[in-house]
Amino acid sequence: MPGRKVYVAPVDCTETNVASMQDVLAMHSFSRSPRHVLVDDAESADLIVLAGHINSCDEARRNELLRRYPNKTMLYTEYDFALPYAPGIYASASRSRWIDLRRTRSFMYFSRHFLSLNESVCHRPNEKKDLLFCFRGRRDCRVRGNLMDHDFGRPDVLVVDTSDYEHWGEGPLDRRQAQREYVDTLARSHFALCPRGYGFGSIRLFEVMEIGVPPVLLSDWYALPKGPDWESFLIRVKEKDYARLPEILEAHVSESAERGRLARAAWERFFSPEVAFDRMIDQMEEILQDSRMPQSVYRLWWRGLEQRHKLRTEASVMARRVIAAARRLGGGKGRPRGWVRSDPR
């Protein structure tokens, strides 16, 4: 694909959106031999990248770049529940359930190398494996809660609730030690579980690939990024089949070293800092070429998307209140087993 002139701007001047723009610009600076060049003028750009989160359809309508250049403005967002007001890269994008308008794709999380940096993550080939699979993470959705509540009854399975870990602030767990333990556990494992979190996607998937461990995806609606031959190294398990993980993964233990090698090779080719910016722009170009309708037509659906999200969120809040009340009546032990945040799609 020929090089493009790219203009990058934040959705607005809020701190988080400016930080997202800075991540995108920094990824360009990491490029080994960038095909796409940055320009400081939106008019002359072939492609405009809006970085950050659009909160509402009113905000989308007010955005000057979306108004003036609707057919070349794309969004890059890592927000878990972003509604697709603009076409582009949504790190936690879902698979289409009905009509695929081909306006969104998932991709890696640029913040992996900045705000969410874990310096312990690196390639760990040829490590001795004494665990069939592992998971260390927060209890923040139903599938993770199920993993933590289930007794796998095996010494070679390690599932640890690290809800007390605070990446962006002070917590009871030492951050650097927790990060080292997280990576050391992954390196000891034949397979690494990558369940969904608040959103469908997880930065964990790309960390696991970088380390060189085959990922096991438990996220029924997550849309895997285009490019890699996922079937050659990733194992996808339905969320409801979490209790069958030992049975499923035992059948693939002899393949784990090769799957790990292929996972690392795919990370280097598609998601490493040296290639990530160009890969993202290529994906955006394909979205523009593949789109089934102009942005002006899609805008007619914005309000309906927003109203559906509002109704589903209110229903989820009500369900959590009922669960919390049931917990209080039952003595308040533990977290509600089926707790999950609302899902806008």
> Any idea what the CATH number is for the domain that residue 167 is in?
3.40.50.2000
Task: Please check whether residues 183 and 244 belong to one and the same domain.
Answer: yes
User: Quick one: tokens of 162?
Assistant: 């690290």
Is-above-0.75 flag for pTM? yes
Please check whether residues 198 and 67 belong to one and the same domain.
no
Unique residue bearing structure tokens 């250049």: 69
pLDDT of 256 higher than 60:
yes
Q: DSSP assignment, residue 224?
A: P
CB atoms within 10 A of CB 88: 25
Q: How confident is the model at residue 337 (pLDDT cuts 50, 70, 90)?
A: very low
Under 8 Å CB-to-CB from 134, ≥6 apart: which residues? 157, 158, 159, 160, 185, 186, 188, 189, 192, 193
Q: Is the domain of 138 the same as that of 245? A: yes
Same domain, 175 and 230: yes
Range with the poorest average pLDDT among 135-144, 150-159, 228-237, 302-311:
302-311
* Residue at 324 is within a domain: no
- pLDDT (mean) for 111-130: 90
Higher per-residue confidence, 262 vs 314: 262
If asked whether residues 167 and 220 sit together in one domain, one would say yes
Q: What is the mean pLDDT of residues 124-141?
A: 93
CA–CA distances in Å: residue 16 to residues 161, 209, 213, 339 = 28, 27, 31, 27
Residue 129, φ and ψ in degrees, nearest 5: -105, 115
pLDDT tier at 100, thresholds 50, 70, 90:
low
State mean pLDDT over 135-163: 93
Is 307 a domain residue?
no
pLDDT of residue 343: 38
Q: Are 218 and 242 in contact (CB under 8 A)?
A: yes
Please tell me whether residues 162 and 219 are part of one structural domain.
yes
pLDDT value of residue 281: 96
Do 286 and 256 sit in the same domain of this protein? no
Same domain, 181 and 237: yes
Q: Which residues contact 197 (CB under 8 A, 6 or more apart)?
A: 80, 137, 138, 140, 141, 144
From the number of C-beta atoms within 10 Å of its C-beta (0-12, 13-18, 19+), residue 33 rates as exposed
Task: Judge if 135 and 99 occupy the same domain.
Answer: no
* Confidence (pLDDT) at 166: 59
Q: Do residue 145 and residue 263 come from a single domain? A: yes
CA angle at 42 for the pair 41 and 47, rounded to the nearest 5°: 120
- Residue 339, pLDDT > 80, answer no
Q: Could you tell me if residue 284 is inside a domain?
A: yes
Is the domain of 141 the same as that of 87?
no
pLDDT for res 341: 40
* Same structural domain, 258 and 294: no
In angstroms, the CA 142 to CA 84 distance is 24
| Arithmetic mean of pLDDT over the chain | 86
Count of domains for the chain? 2
User: Is 317 within the bounds of a domain?
Assistant: no
Domain span at residue 257 reads 131-270
Look at residue 326 and tell me if it is in a domain. no
Which helix (H) or strand (E) segment holds residue 215: the answer is: strand 215-218
pLDDT tens, position by position, 7-59: 999 999 999 999 999 999 999 999 988 899 999 999 999 999 999 999 888 88
